[in-house]
Amino acid sequence: DLSGTFTLNNGVEMPYLGLGVYMSHNGEEVINAVRWALEAGYRHVDTAPIYRNESGVGQGIKDSNLPREDVFVVSKVWNSDHGYDKTIKAFDKSLEQLQLDYLDLYLVHWPVVGKYTDTWLALEELYKQKKVRAIGVSNFLRHQLEDVMEIAEITPMVNQMEFHPFLVQQDLIDFCQQHKIQYEAWSPLMQGKVFDLPEFKQLADKYNKSIAQIVLRYDLQKGVITIPKSSKKQRIISNANIFDFELSQSDMKFIDDMDRNHRYGPDPDNFEWSV
């Protein structure tokens, strides 16, 4: 069931499979990707102003002719827009680009040192004004989550992190679970590198599924929301075909044991946030 959801700590249902659109070019490429995904049954799209394709995402949603409330739309506040007032403005700009009058989820994209707590207060205000149905963070390690929760009235509903078989961060997953913060994976396919791993070729053969389907199914069985990126129609369709099989407990453990705490993206404690 493609419309399957996890329930966030405020009761909002978030579809556990979404389309990622980082690097999907604004215009035909992203419009088609979003439209094909929605036709295939996806009900969740993950964008950000830094991807420079929010207007195409909005167009794809419009072209799908689905009722607005059927699609879960996520965007994020970029690093250069941190701070209370700038965040409120950046949110309004995202809405305008997406041609929407509310978002389903708005995230703090990265924990910019010294700024993210003020930014969080702006997200709380947007939430109270009902301009967004849920608010959360991205790339927040435990200490950054603790900083936010210390000043927050509202606990983040989601933490979107780099997550794949080489970077599980089980301690952080457990911490989020304790605090009812839904864990979400970015780069679930290791930005394509998972396709080179023989272990996954073996699992794919065993279950008669594709490598992508094995990895994305692993995410779901971990209770982690996942947003694989593709702009190719057949891949978008096939990446969603993960609801007709189940990985055994021992294969789940086998994948868990591949963890080597390896990042392909930046380290949240040491990243270039000034861009």
Catalytic residues: 51
By CB under 6 A, which span of 65-73, 223-231, 242-250, 253-261 interacts with ligand NAD? 223-231
Round to whole Å and give the CA distance between 185 and 162.
Answer: 6
* Beta carbon nearer to ligand NAD, 165 or 188: 188
| Residue choice 7, 66, 143, 192 for contact with ligand NAD (CB under 6 A) | 192
| Residue choice 44, 82, 217, 229 for contact with ligand NAD (CB under 6 A) | 229
Q: Name the binding residues for substrate.
A: 109
Burial of residue 126 (CB within 10 Å: 0-12, 13-18, 19+) is buried
Burial of residue 52 (CB within 10 Å: 0-12, 13-18, 19+) is middle
**Shortest distance in whole angstroms from residue 195 CB to ligand NAD:** 6
Round to whole Å and give the CA distance between 190 and 157.
Answer: 24
22 is a contact residue toward ligand NAD (CB under 6 A): yes
Round to whole Å and give the CA distance between 206 and 248.
Answer: 11
By CB under 6 A, which span of 32-40, 52-60, 89-97, 180-188 interacts with ligand NAD? 180-188
- Contact call for residues 144 and 117 (beta carbons, < 8 A): no
Q: Count CA within 13 A, CB hemisphere, residue 49.
A: 22
| Residue choice 32, 119, 138, 182 for contact with ligand NAD (CB under 6 A) | 138
What residues make contact with ligand NAD under the rule CB under 6 A? 20-22, 46, 109, 138-139, 160, 186-192, 195, 210, 212, 227-230, 235, 238-239, 265
